[in-house]
Amino acid sequence: MRAGLRQMNILSPARAKWLGVALIALTLIGLPFALSSVGTAWVRIANLAILFTFLALGLNIVVGFAGLLDLGYIAFYAVGAYAYALLASPHFDLHLPFWVILPIGALVACLFGVLLGAPTLKLRGDYLAIVTLGFGEIVRIFLNNLSQPVNITNGPQGISRIDPFSFGSFSFSQNETIVGLAFSGPIKYYYILLALLLLAIVVNLRLQHSRIGRAWEAIREDEVAARAMGIDTTRIKLLAFAMGASFGGIAGGMFAAIQSFISPESFVLVESIMVLSMVVLGGMGNVWGVVLGAVLLSFVPELLRYTVEPLQQSLFGRSIIEPEVIRMLLFGMALVLMMLYRPAGLLPSAVRKRELTKPQGREA
């Protein structure tokens, strides 16, 4: 009996935590094979979900940590994607390896981040949102029109036949059988994306608890007081824009490689809003909340796409409402309900939770 009890004690909180981590790791490793048994399309959806999570983590630095509302975030994704496409496609007949281009894409996006950040340093809230929104549109319009007089972006036709990731003869776009397992292109991409995402999560978590993270928190709360603390607010705000943009640039590069075709249409305002929704839904400033929000908003619409149509067919014998319409309707409703009942997000950050639940300033 005693021994039995001690046996049960093996599941102490610390051990339970590790067991949980191991289970999640195993699930993530096995996921693409499980998904590909349903259909390769689902592996692609998982890959896009990871990409969007990566993007949401980048935006979380700007919006969640530093409190700077950015409605044009997708522009950095576009810059990274085009940087990759121009340097690894027949368009300019350049074929640089991906480990060279991804850092270049991050750097170029980072420059664009500073370009956006520098003139908007004094803006906050709604005003900043409007300028960033304009910035996102400017980038997209440039991409649409930079085909004349010199053809740089190939305009609305976009750039096609973009090189996939490859190490020597090992290409990420081909099917391969390794130790008896069939690795399709998307499955190979899945693992490299997953690795990069883990890296992004670690960077986000470290940033949050660093000196820089505390400085962002101070700026979000009260900029004048932050300066009185000795925080170089100019530099720290630019840093938020630059780091967020770099994340976007890397994600864009991966997107270009996976899709092998990009055009300005992939970088419209709705995409920026989608990424922002992921951050807000999950919980601004909370890394795990943002991950949850991004995964939910990536998968649920896809699930709906595959269920709404058959459901209507079986109920009414025909499709009454287009799946696309229902998706947007449910999506909007979900956001409204969230704002009403969980305004700080699904997994709110400790600070935001306090902000929205506790009464403010009681006077002496």
Which spans of this chain sit near other proteins (rule: CB under 8 A)?
A: 211, 214-215, 217-218, 221-222, 224-233, 351-352, 354-355, 358-364
Chain centre distance of CA 258: 15
Indicate the residue among 126 and 363 with the shorter CB distance to other proteins.
363
d(CA 91, CA 154): 8
Smallest separation (angstroms) from other proteins to the CB of 20: 28
- Give the three-class secondary structure for 166: strand
Q: Which of 74, 4, 66 is nearest to 239 (CA)?
A: 66
Indicate the residue among 149 and 230 with the shorter CB distance to other proteins.
230
Indicate the residue among 254 and 280 with the shorter CB distance to other proteins.
280
Burial 269-281 (b: 16+ CB within 10 A, else e): eebbbbbbbbbbb
d(CA 47, CA 33): 13
Smallest separation (angstroms) from other proteins to the CB of 111: 24
Smallest separation (angstroms) from other proteins to the CB of 54: 28
Smallest separation (angstroms) from other proteins to the CB of 124: 16
Angle at 53 (CA atoms; ends 67, 210), nearest 5 degrees: 45
Indicate the residue among 32 and 285 with the shorter CB distance to other proteins.
285
Residue 183 is inside which H or E element, if any? strand 181-183
Smallest separation (angstroms) from other proteins to the CB of 233: 8
- Give the three-class secondary structure for 233: helix
Smallest separation (angstroms) from other proteins to the CB of 256: 39
Residue 137 is inside which H or E element, if any? helix 125-145
Indicate the residue among 93 and 363 with the shorter CB distance to other proteins.
363
Indicate the residue among 23 and 229 with the shorter CB distance to other proteins.
229
